Every structure is written in structure tokens, then in C-alpha cells.
């Protein structure tokens, strides 16, 4: 990082540390993801390991606003921590000192370190990407796409990410066929809500705004109107959901094949 002297800021979110790098404009979210992988590989080669969160470069994942409360992280008395800005000198302090700083907002001037913006590399076409990404183990009974798992495994995913998740479950349960009978629609809706409840709703530190009635209301709209999972090439990749080539990509460029194939 020093040799490039990128413009950046530092934060402690209440649960972990965040480094935000400022870059030149780019037309593709995949270029930012490629830049992240470059940094991650360098850390691994230099230190033998790294603890960077792979869920990065997602327009669908909301980042915590500085000096706002992190309700998923509490101190020993049950009080939430704040997301607070940091200086390099703070990193020399014990973790307990930083946790102490995060017990209240830290109203200090916004500071950008570094002299130049990063230039994001042009990501190779998805067709030429080697290897296949997969979904981490989870408690659900239904399979899930890596991109959607990545987009919704957060405290407050976007509405569209949740809608895409419901459409994926609808496709799985209906074998990608239109649901015509009311009882079929209701069955798929019930199974979908139960799956979301198990994986995202009742787990601590996942959906903080989980409400079964609200989820059922929005899921019903997607299921009853037979909305299908967005196409990889025309939606999921351009909109920044894709985190790499997965098992679905080769067979779903045209969105025609059955999910069981």
C-alpha cells in the first residue's frame, strides 16, 4: 500500500476494521473486485494468510455510516458500539482501547490519507475466469446462488437483493415453471418464507430488521407474479451481484434451462 500511496480512510465498524480506498471512475464493479483480489493475493503471499472479508465490492451490500450505531455488536453491558473513524496512531493501541472509543460517536474531522486514487484494473471477461465459486455452508434446505448468498448475508440487504433471493427459491421449488394454481403458489410461498426464516431471519447478526409478516408480504408479490431469477449476463453481472463464475453461469446465459439440469 505504501508504494502506491492510495487515498484511503480507516474505520472501526464495531465488529471489525475497514479500509476504504478511493479510486478513479470505472464502468464495471468487476474491476473493483479484481483490484480487491489483487490486494488479497499480495497479503497472502507476503504474510502467508489474511483475514479480509471476501464479501467486497457489492453495490447491494450497505456500508455502515460513520458514527452510527452497530446494533449487532454490543459491549458487556448490552450497549451497542458505534462505527468510528480511526487514525494510524489508534492502530498501535490495544483492541480494548479501540472498543472504548467505539462506545460513543467520535466527532473528528474527516481525513483522507494518501496522495493518489487507485486505478482499477480491467477485469477479464467472465467467460475466461478460471475456477468456480461456491456457497459457504448454511442451515437451509434449499441451494442458493453464491452471488445471492453474498448479497443477502448482511444485516440490512437491499430490497432488490431480497426480491432476487425469493425469485431464486421460487424457481427451485417450481422447477422454473409458472405457478398457476393458488394452492401451488401458497405452497411455494410458505416454503420460501420458512427457508428465509431459518437461514436469515432467526440467526443473530444477519437480518436485523427481520419480520415474518413483512417478508411474507413482499415474497408473495414475487411468488404469485411468477418472477424468475434474473439472467446472469443481463442482470446479475452488470448490477454487481456476481462474485465469480459459479455452476449456474455456463448453462444460464440465455436463462432457458431448468434449475434441475
Residue 161 has a pLDDT of 92
How far is it, in rounded angstroms, from Cα 203 to Cα 209?
12
Same domain, 133 and 228: yes
Q: Are 31 and 121 in contact (CB under 8 A)?
A: yes
Question: pLDDT tens-digit profile of 79-116?
Answer: 989 999 999 889 889 999 999 999 999 998 888 989 99
Q: Flag whether 185 is in a domain.
A: yes
Residues 96 and 183 in one domain: no
Domain end (from 101, 117, 149): 101
Same domain, 72 and 165: no
User: Do residue 14 and residue 95 come from a single domain?
Assistant: yes
Cβ-proximal residues to 251 (8 Å cutoff; 6+ apart), any chain:
257, 261
Does residue 66 contact residue 11 with C-beta atoms inside 8 Å?
Answer: yes
Number of CB atoms found within 10 A of residue 79's CB: 12
Do 84 and 164 belong together in one domain?
no
* Residue where the block lists cell 424468475: 228
Give the mean pLDDT of the chain.
Answer: 82
Report if residue 88 sits inside a domain: yes
Are 134 and 96 contained in the same domain? no
Please indicate, yes or no, whether residues 77 and 163 belong to a single structural domain of this protein.
Answer: no
Identify whether 210 is part of a domain: yes
Asked if 52 and 43 touch (Cβ cutoff 8 Å), the reply is yes
Query: Is the predicted pLDDT of residue 234 greater than 90, yes or no?
Result: no
Region 35-52: what's the mean pLDDT?
72
Same domain? For 217 and 143 the reply is yes
pLDDT at 244 over 90: no
Kindly state whether residue 217 falls inside one of the protein's structural domains: yes
Cβ atoms of 236 and 58 closer than 8 Å: no
The residue with greater pLDDT, 260 or 244, is 244
**What confidence tier does 39 reach under pLDDT thresholds 50, 70, 90?**
confident
* 219 or 16, greater pLDDT: 219
CA-to-CA dists, residue 113 to 9, 14, 20, 68, 110, angstroms: 6, 22, 10, 22, 10
> Quick one: average pLDDT of 38-62?
63
> Quick check: is 257 in a domain?
no
Confidence check: pLDDT of 260 > 60: no
The number of distinct structural domains making up the chain is 2
- Residue labelled with grid coordinates 444460464: 252
Per-residue pLDDT band for 57 (boundaries 50, 70, 90) equals low
**The pLDDT of residue 62:** 54
Same domain, 57 and 137: no
Does any domain span residue 260? no
Structural domain harbouring 13: 8-101
- Order of strands across the sheet that contains 8-12: 17-21, 8-12, 84-85
* Together in a domain, 18 and 53: yes
Could you read off the pLDDT of 106-155 as tens digits, one per residue? 998 888 989 999 998 887 777 766 667 777 777 889 999 988 988 888 77
| 151 and 54 together in one domain | no
Q: Is 82 exposed, middle or buried (0-12, 13-18, 19+ CB in 10 A)?
A: buried
What pLDDT is recorded for position 255? Answer: 46
Residue 244 lies in a domain: no
Tell me if 1 is assigned to some domain: no
| Same domain, yes or no: 156 and 75 | no
Amino acid at each position: 500500500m505504501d508504494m502506491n500511496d492510495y487515498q484511503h480512510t480507516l474505520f472501526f465498524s464495531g465488529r471489525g476494521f475497514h479500509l476504504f480506498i478511493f479510486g478513479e471512475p470505472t464502468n464495471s464493479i468487476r474491476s473493483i473486485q479484481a483490484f480487491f483480489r489483487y490486494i488479497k493475493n499480495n497479503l497472502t503471499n507476503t504474510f502467508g494468510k489474511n483475514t479480509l472479508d471476501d464479501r467486497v465490492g457489492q453495490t447491494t451490500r450497505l456500508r455502515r455510516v460513520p458514527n452510527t450505531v452497530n446494533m449487532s455488536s454490543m459491549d458487556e453491558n448490552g450497549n451497542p458500539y458505534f462505527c468510528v473513524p480511526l487514525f494510524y496512531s489508534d492502530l498501535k493501541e490495544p483492541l480494548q482501547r479501540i472498543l472504548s472509543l467505539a462506545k460513543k460517536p467520535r466527532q473528528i474531522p474527516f481525513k483522507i490519507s494518501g496522495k493518489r486514487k487507485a486505478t482499477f484494473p480491467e477485469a477479464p471477461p467472465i467467460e475466461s475466469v478460471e475456477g468456480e465459486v461456491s456457497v459457504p455452508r448454511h442451515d437451509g434446505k434449499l441451494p442458493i446462488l453464491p452471488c445471492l448468498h453474498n448479497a443477502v448475508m448482511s444485516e440490512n440487504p437491499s430490497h432488490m437483493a431480497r426480491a432476487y433471493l425469493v425469485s431464486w427459491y421460487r424457481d427451485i421449488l417450481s422447477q422454473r415453471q409458472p405457478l398457476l394454481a393458488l394452492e401451488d403458489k401458497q405452497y411455494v410461498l410458505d416454503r420460501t418464507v420458512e427457508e428465509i426464516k431459518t437461514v436469515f431471519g432467526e440467526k443473530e447478526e444477519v437480518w436485523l430488521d427481520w419480520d415474518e409478516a413483512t417478508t411474507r408480504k413482499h415474497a408473495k408479490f414475487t411468488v404469485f407474479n411468477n418472477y424468475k431469477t434474473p439472467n446472469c449476463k443481463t442482470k446479475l453481472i452488470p448490477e454487481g451481484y456476481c462474485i465469480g463464475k459459479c455452476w449456474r453461469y455456463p448453462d444460464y446465459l440465455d436463462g432457458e434451462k431448468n434449475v434441475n439440469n
